[in-house]
C-alpha cells in the first residue's frame, strides 16, 4: 500500500474547508423562527420550522464529518494513517480514495 500522506492531508484539508464554508453559509436557516402570526402565516411558520430543523441536522452531520477529518489528520501526524483502528490491518487504497477519513478497513467497517 502506497499512500502519500501529503496528498491525503491536502485532500482532507480541502474537504474540511468545504464543510466549514457550507456551515457558515447556512446560518440564516438555523435562526429561531419568529412567533408573530401577523407577518408569517401558520403554514409558512411550519415550513420555516422544517427548514430550521433540516439545517440543524445538516450542520450536525457536517460537524461529525469534521471530527472524522480531524481524527484522520491526527492519524497522519502519528504516522498511523491507512491502518485500521480496529484490527491494525492496512485499509485498501480504493477505500481511502473514496473516503479519505475512513478509520477502519472494509472488514471492520
Average of per-residue pLDDT values in the chain? 85
The pTM (predicted TM-score) of the whole model is 0.76
Above 70 in pLDDT, residue 6?
yes
Averaged pLDDT for residues 34-54: 70
Averaged pLDDT for residues 6-12: 94
Residue given cell 482532507 in the structure block: 12
Residue ranges per structural domain of the chain: 5-26+40-98
pLDDT, one tens digit per residue, over 58-88 is: 999 999 999 999 999 999 999 999 999 999 9
Helices assigned H by DSSP within 1-109: 5-25, 42-77, 93-98
Q: For the structural domain made of 5-26+40-98, what CATH number should be given?
A: 1.20.120.910
CB 66 within 8 A of CB 15: no
Amino acid at each position: 500500500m502506497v499512500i502519500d500522506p501529503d496528498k491525503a492531508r491536502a485532500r482532507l484539508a480541502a474537504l474540511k474547508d468545504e464543510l466549514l464554508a457550507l456551515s457558515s453559509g447556512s446560518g440564516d436557516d438555523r435562526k429561531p423562527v419568529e412567533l408573530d402570526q401577523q407577518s408569517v402565516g401558520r403554514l409558512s411558520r411550519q415550513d420555516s420550522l422544517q427548514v430550521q430543523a433540516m439545517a440543524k441536522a445538516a450542520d450536525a452531520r457536517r460537524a461529525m464529518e469534521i471530527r472524522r477529518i480531524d481524527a484522520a489528520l491526527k492519524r497522519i501526524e502519528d504516522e498511523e494513517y491507512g491502518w485500521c483502528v480496529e484490527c491494525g490491518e492496512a485499509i485498501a487504497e480504493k477505500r481511502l480514495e473514496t473516503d479519505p477519513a475512513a478509520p477502519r478497513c472494509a472488514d471492520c467497517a
